[in-house]
Amino acid sequence: MHYAIIKILAISALTFTAAMAVTPFVTHFLYKHKMWKKKAGKGGGYGGGGTPLFNELHKDADTGTPRMGGAVIWLGLLIALGAIVLGQFLAPQSLLADLNFISRAQTWIPMTAFIVGALVGFIDDYSIVKGSGTHFADAGLSLRLRLGIVLTLAAGIGWWFYAKLGVSAISFFGITTIPLGVGFILFFMAVVAAVYASGVIDGIDGLSGGVFLFIFAAYTGVALIQGQTDIAMFCAAIVGGLLAFLWFNIPPARFYMTETGIMALTLALATVAFLTDNLVGGVGVSLLPIIGGLLVITVASNIIQVLSKKLRNGKKVFLIAPLHHHFEALGWPRPKIVMRYWIVGFVLASLGILVALLV
């Protein structure tokens, strides 16, 4: 356990350093090519009716600041892995060489989801700022196309869990298991889609980076408690990348995370939750609504808003959905919203680790 903690801290520090080192190059590229939206605001709202209040609040927030800042996270991770591979070649007995967390049993799946999400998200971001091709427009890849890609990937991974790993049930806080049979694949797809939908939490400087930092830090602890060192190191590496991203994303943001970061993080998170669940007698899925409570609230507020507008003749529950924009519309300063979300995120992460220790 002692050496595992050393490796976790080391990989997080290494990824942070790599991400910080690559950021000047990313920033130069983004600003040189003006990789930002040319028009602020949104073209339409949840449930229809437009978003005039949101557009007014963000009239100066979306233009002039590049998208694609999430690339810092996955570039930092990939550079760190490159350094580790080099360390294995030059100094096979060193700590650096021992930091390789890529393993078939634990991290192939989340790493694949992470990279695929990053690439698809990058294409979406690029299409927003440039726009070209059949499926490309000023609004980026269509929601239908993005969701189709997410669900296709989820179906493949869910099938792998079911057919290759023999997983057909989920744990309920370690008390019992819930058998799903082949329905496990559909359940997996639903969870992945829900976690991906929570990506709309990316909307205020520093918000999404801090929230996901605490979530992945919590799953680092959960995986370590359950003896899954490689997954713990994978999550810790993401934490390191997120710390570097936050260094430049706190107000005023040098760049925004947007889809290339959000899609990578949400897809990786969903797979990590299942890998730390019934497959190893763990409680990863049960803890997801706790550790990711802010993501649940974000999605729920959107659903409530849409249903209210559909069923109550256009009447809204929130001034703007999701919830963090409602607080913004109420007049809360953006740093106050972000800080309070971080505080709640820390509490939820701590609670999740506590439950993992007790069950």
At what angle are helices 293-311 and 207-225 packed, to 10 degrees? 130
What residues does each domain of the chain span?
Answer: 33-71+102-358
Query: Is 114 a residue whose pLDDT tops 50?
Result: yes
Is the per-residue pLDDT at 14 higher than 50?
A: yes
- pLDDT at site 93: 85
How many Å apart are CA 113 and CA 126, to the nearest integer? Answer: 20
CA 44, CA 55: separation in Å to the nearest integer? 10
Is the pLDDT confidence value at 217 over 70? yes
| pLDDT tier at 203, thresholds 50, 70, 90 | confident
* Mean pLDDT confidence for 152-179: 95
Q: How far is CA 244 from CA 57, 77, 238, 247, 346, in A?
A: 27, 11, 10, 5, 18
Residue 279: the pLDDT is: 87
> Among 48-52, 223-227, 266-270, 278-282, where is mean pLDDT lowest?
48-52
Average pLDDT, rounded, for the chain: 91
pLDDT mean over 327-348? 96
Q: Please say if the pLDDT value at position 88 is more than 60.
A: yes
Distance in angstroms (rounded) separating the CA atoms of residues 276 and 286 = 10
User: Residue 333: its pLDDT value, please?
Assistant: 94
pLDDT band for position 359 (cuts 50, 70, 90): confident
pLDDT in tens, 288-313: 999 999 999 999 999 999 999 999 98
Whole-number pLDDT of residue 136? 40
Q: For residue range 17-45, what is the model confidence (pLDDT) as tens digits? A: 999 999 999 999 999 999 988 776 665 55
Average pLDDT over residues 219-234: 97
Residue 91 has pLDDT above 70, yes or no: yes
54: buried, middle or exposed (CB in 10 Å: 19+, 13-18, 0-12)? buried
Count other C-beta atoms under 10 Å from residue 75's C-beta: 21
As a whole number of angstroms, the distance between CA 195 and CA 239 comes to 18
**Quick one: which of 66, 13, 2 has its CA closest to 38?**
66
